Structure 1
């Protein structure tokens, strides 16, 4: 019996493009890394992102000087965890535009979304010195990448600093 999978949109946020060879790829969408819904580390990363989301919301509402790439991830259509940019808070929701080309039918890169705060599965931003904050699920996805890809992501996100 096949276990359900979540498709995590592959790091195509605006930090700078990262080329990933995907485990599953359809030509109409960005590369994805498929992760089992039962993956304990990914579930822990999502829980940590949710538990620390107040820190991120403070950045959304009052961005520090030099902060860029204020973003969040949510499960589009319930399964494709995808990044969103141009973020604004709207009460118990956040709004923005899809930062990846989704696989979910009827959606495209740049489409506007309105997402309940409780549906956020990850968040991130880059500070004035170029250090990435958040991106909990990205750190887990490093183990699903080749050594070269993971090293490039670590370098771009400043994870090894």
Structure 2
């Protein structure tokens, strides 16, 4: 089985409608590069959440999360998709809006509200003051599957290093 990863990760941060319509890039669940990226992103998740979720539970609007959501589809077991407009739920999970057009979630559309828990988070994105985005560990892997023009466009939007220096 494969997982479906959205290369349209930058929609919310950029408000660029064309990126919302980009295709998915499938990866085998055993893909070592994608799994390493997910592991690395998750290794920094507690630090990111502690900095961007206030004591009152309010989530900073610069934070987006990418979650692996189970789907019932013959091609994939999970759709990995970006979620924005986040809020913390009473049980410590999250709710937010789909920031991409889902490919394998019939009945769901861009902007639909979705609920997920921390264990489903596979990546994160933080929009910096300079307009570049930190995180995007999975996006960096996906760039190897893109055309040179797509990879350049994405590369221009994400930070050279996924972690801010101040967070190390």
Confirm whether residue 117 of structure 1 aligns to residue 109 of structure 2: no
Q: Which of 56, 61, 66 is 1:73 aligned to?
A: 66
Q: Which runs of 4+ in 1 moved over 6 A?
A: none
**C-alpha root-mean-square deviation of aligned residues, in Å?**
2.3
1:74-113 per-position Cα deviation (integer Å, ceiling 9, x unaligned): 1222511000000122243111111111121121111111
> TM-score with structure 1 length normalisation?
0.80
Distance 1:18 1:159 in 2: 24
Number of the residue aligned with 1:92: 92
Number of the residue aligned with 1:130: 131
Deviation at 1:19, TM superposition (A): 5.5
Higher relative contact order (CA 8 A, sep 6+): 1
Deviation at 1:41, TM superposition (A): 0.7
Q: Any unmatched runs of 5+ in structure 2?
A: 55-59, 72-76, 162-168
Matched residues, number: 146
> TM-score with structure 2 length normalisation?
0.77
Q: Any unmatched runs of 5+ in structure 1?
A: 21-28
Distance 2:38 2:130 in 1: 25
SS at 1:157 equivalent: coil
Number of the residue aligned with 1:10: 7
Distance 2:17 2:151 in 1: 10
Confirm whether residue 53 of structure 1 aligns to residue 33 of structure 2: no
SS at 2:5 equivalent: strand
